[in-house]
Amino acid sequence: MKRFFLIIAAAAVSYGTWWLCLRSPEQQLAAAQMDFLDALEGHDWQDVEAMLAPGFVAVSGHNRSNIMPDLQRALGGFATLSIETKPVSLQAARDMGIVSQNIRLVGLGNTLAIAVRERANRITTPWLFHWQKTGSWPWNWQLTQVHNDSMTSLPSELPLR
């Protein structure tokens, strides 16, 4: 029994060491992207805001200080929300990376949420998420920019403002 616990402890220490110190930048970036989308799905606005870099900019002209109210209005109306993704590419270096993903929203909610879902699902070009590593820990990634080549501004048919 003692050997069993020693083996379990050694496996836990090995996994912890790998998770903290040995994951590649690509693995770290993929985890950060997944955490960001999970926070959006779960309406975890504090986590979403914490993942935005101080210099964050979006295709809509939003920055870190003014995007949160519109995100909360646009996505907060979903009673159920699932963000389905199809990865196109992920490129990461030691301190920066770009994730390119096709995104589809699935969920039910109020009228605005349905309009957001329908508009978002009409976009067929990949979204580009630009990330920057801000510390030495594997979870210290912040989103610096989000854009989609088919969008130049926030859609006018969505009354977010």
pLDDT digits (tens, 9 = 90+) for 23-44: 688 999 999 999 999 999 999 9
Give the C-alpha separation, 77 to 98, whole Å.
29
d(CA 114, CA 152) in angstroms, rounded, equals: 21
Q: Is residue 5 part of a domain?
A: no
Residue-averaged pLDDT of the chain = 85
Query: Between these two residues, 145 and 5, which has the higher pLDDT value?
Result: 145
**156 part of a folded domain:** no
**Does residue 9 lie within any of the structural domains?**
no
pLDDT tens for 55-93 read 999 877 888 889 999 999 999 999 999 999 998 899 988
Considering the domain boundaries, does residue 4 fall inside one?
A: no
Q: What is the pLDDT of residue 102?
A: 95
Residue 39 counted as domain residue: yes
- Domain CATH number, residue 80: 3.10.450.50
Q: pLDDT category, 16, cuts 50, 70, 90?
A: low
Give the residue, 13 or 43, on which the prediction is more confident: 43
In 51-126 the beta strands, taken as DSSP E runs, fall at 52-58, 78-92, 96-109
How many separate domains does the chain show?
A: 1
What proportion of the chain, given as a percentage, has pLDDT over 70? 83
pLDDT at 4: 73
Q: Is residue 129 very low, low, confident or very high in pLDDT (cuts 50, 70, 90)? A: very high
Q: Which amino acid is at 110?
A: N
d(CA 64, CA 127): 18
- Domain range for 144 is 23-148
The answer as to whether 14 is a domain residue is no
Q: Is residue 131 part of a domain?
A: yes
Closest CA to 147 of 101, 85, 80, 87: 101
Is residue 154 one of the residues assigned to a domain? no
